[in-house]
Amino acid sequence: MSSDHRFDQPRASRRFWRAIRRHCPDCGGGPLFHHWVRIVDACPRCGLRLNRGESGYALGGFWLNMLFAEGVTAVLFVGTLVMTWPGPPWDLLQYGLPALALLTPLIFYPFSKTLFLALDLTIRPPERHEHDAAHG
């Protein structure tokens, strides 16, 4: 690795904190989204390509999004049963949780994209060719 500050690797905790804020996990630059669900191609500060160019890369963010949405739904279902037993609110569980299960992926979508990128960058740090040459 070069001594170029762009290639000094941040700690994993810093990457995830940046991702939660919907910023570039690598440098903290942003904004990374045009709208709630339209991500830019590359970080406006460091030029990191946000899709790391592998076949099926987008499935990682999709998987993380579904895992979170289903996890929230399952935890709320079990928590509601435990807290209200022996008379759980079946109508709320029957209608409210499916609605939540449909809304949660939309709400969590941008976070799933940046959090998966942070996870991937932590496991496989970026190489020089993954940064747009125009940003350096």
Please provide the average confidence, as pLDDT, over all residues in the chain: 89
Domain residue limits, the chain: 9-50+57-126
* CA distance to 8, 10, 19, 92, 115, per residue, from 77 (Å): 43, 37, 28, 10, 25
Predicted structure pTM score: 0.84
Where does the pLDDT of residue 5 fall: very low under 50, low under 70, confident under 90, or very high at 90 and above? Answer: very low
Residue 135 has pLDDT above 90, yes or no: no
What's the pLDDT at 47? 92
What's the pLDDT at 3? 43
What's the pLDDT at 127? 82
| pLDDT tens per residue across span 19-29 | 999 999 999 99
Residue 6 has pLDDT above 80, yes or no: no
* CA distance to 11, 24, 42, 71, 117, per residue, from 31 (Å): 21, 8, 10, 28, 15
Query: What are the residues facing 39 on neighbouring strands?
Result: 33
| pLDDT tens per residue across span 22-56 | 999 999 999 999 999 899 999 999 999 998 878 88
